[in-house]
Amino acid sequence: MSKRLRSSEVCADCSGPDPSWASVNRGTFICDECCSVHRSLGRHISQVRHLKHTPWPPTLLQMVETLYNNGANSIWEHSLLDPASIMSGRRKANPQDKVHPNKAEFIRAKYQMLAFVHRLPCRDDDSVTAKDLSKQGGHHELAERLVEIQYELTDRLAFYLCGRKPDHKNGQHFIIPQMADSSLDLSELAKAAKKKLQSLSNHLFEELAMDVYDEVDRRETDAVWLATQNHSALVTETTVVPFLPVNPEYSSTRNQGRQKLARFNAHEFATLVIDILSDAKRRQQGSSLSGSKENVELILRTINNQHSIESQDNDQPDYDSVASDEDTDLETTASKANRQKSLDSDLSDGPVTVQEFMEVKNALVASEAKIQQLMKVNNNLSDELRIMQKKLLGKDAN
């Protein structure tokens, strides 16, 4: 659905040629290396989409292209355009800079810290909505688009599961997909989780739905990222995003819960998405449901692993520590040490718990992925070696 990139387009962050990604909420086009930094910042900072391999609503892609072509990047780099900024020593990243620390520090300052933005004074909001104004002005297509935006979250969740979106023009605002093996979802664990989901206040339900939306985006972007990158060149340089990055505006508990979503397998995550869609429709229609108020933490804890929580000591935390930007590089070493400690405790503390089994399983999956990546690198090196050997043999023959 995306349009062919024009040769005049360059990365908004380093001015590299032929950017293949877009930051939707920033109105910019970015290259692969800068995209890896954007992803590590989280969707609350930058929402990235591939220009060719991600499905785009035509109007959304047109909006991003219009913003880009009309200088949206100058909003984020306003002070850098001032000649005085050259005297201050501040400069934009360039294609030859290393991803870490050069490009990463510049991108973080540009989008997360808003270090180069011109600060405008606040203005009072009007009492009339944008949809009302568009109707009054005869912009009916815009009014319809504003209605669609109201259901952006549920539309995205439905499209993730079944590849279809509701027909809002004809009054269809929700699609609730059905699991092919729905009989498996009738366990007591699933029923308890769904009941707790329905018992949430509207505010807590909105927060959970937003977190699941972000996790859907992370999983979809991961799939596109793995399919489009040369993995032999990504072994050490770019950033891997195994779970949602920390949002400093959220509480520690919410950040931990968001990261736990990455541990859901496909079936568990699909079940959670369907339950959210069903309850969103119920709440939209105003249907009431009696029940005690529960915390989002309980939902994530129950769906993820109820038996694991019950086996923990009272003085142990319910969640893993949240990884910050500073200790991301130490995560691999720390996780290995924790797994070794867990395995050592298994030899003396009796049977292996479900939590310990999942840690070992996740470690094996990560190791297998690393092995596959190294095998690709080895194959590429072998191909290059054979090419060099053929060239040498050709010279000797002459």
20, 228 Cβ separation under 8 angstroms: yes
10 vs 345: which has the higher pLDDT = 10
CB atoms within 10 A of CB 65: 19
b/e burial code for range 270-296 (CB count within 10 A of at least 16 → b): bbbbbbbbebbeebeeeeeeeeeebeb
Above 90 in pLDDT, residue 32?
Answer: yes
Per-residue DSSP letter, 285: T
Out of 69-83, 107-121, 280-294, pick the least confident. Answer: 280-294
Query: What are the chain's domains?
Result: 7-112 (1.10.220.150), 143-287 (no CATH)
Residue count of the chain, please give it.
398
258, 216 Cβ separation under 8 angstroms: no
DSSP string for residues in 73-93: HHHHTTGGGSTHHHHHT----
pLDDT, averaged across the chain: 78
Sign of the Cα torsion 265, 271, 274, 278 reads negative
CA-based nearest residue to 212, from 166, 257, 246: 257
pLDDT > 70: percent of the chain: 70
| Cα distance between residue 393 and residue 28, in whole Å | 49
Out of 21-30, 101-110, 242-251, 318-327, pick the least confident. Answer: 318-327
Q: Residue 23 has which token pair? A: 């930051």
Which residues fall within 8 angstroms of residue 147, CB to CB, at 6 or more apart?
A: 131, 168
Instruction: Find which of 73-77, 367-371, 391-395 is predicted with most confidence, using mean pLDDT.
Output: 73-77
The whole-number pLDDT of residue 355 equals 59
Out of 189-203, 260-274, 325-339, pick the least confident. Answer: 325-339
For residue 50, list its beta bridge partners: 21
The whole-number pLDDT of residue 389 equals 76
The whole-number pLDDT of residue 397 equals 66
What kind and span of H or E run contains 49?
strand 48-50
Classified as helix, coil or strand, 134 is helix
Which residues fall within 8 angstroms of residue 176, CB to CB, at 6 or more apart?
A: 158, 274, 277, 278, 281
Per-residue DSSP letter, 238: S
Which residues fall within 8 angstroms of residue 240, CB to CB, at 6 or more apart?
A: none
Per-residue DSSP letter, 322: P
Mean pLDDT of 232-252: 76
Q: Rg for the chain (alpha carbons), in Å?
A: 24
Grade residue 392 by pLDDT with cuts at 50, 70 and 90: confident
| Cα distance between residue 191 and residue 153, in whole Å | 24
Which residues fall within 8 angstroms of residue 232, CB to CB, at 6 or more apart?
A: 376, 377, 380
Classified as helix, coil or strand, 155 is helix
Above 50 in pLDDT, residue 328?
Answer: no
CA-based nearest residue to 162, from 47, 50, 274: 274
Beta sheet of 48-50, edge-to-edge order: 28-30, 21-23, 48-50
pLDDT in tens, 151-194: 999 999 999 999 999 998 888 999 998 876 655 556 677 778 88
The whole-number pLDDT of residue 120 equals 59
Above 50 in pLDDT, residue 81?
Answer: yes
Above 70 in pLDDT, residue 353?
Answer: no
The whole-number pLDDT of residue 238 equals 62
pLDDT in tens, 104-145: 999 999 999 999 998 754 444 566 777 778 888 899 888 888
The whole-number pLDDT of residue 318 equals 44
Q: Residue 119 has which token pair? A: 């600060």
Mean pLDDT of 85-89: 62
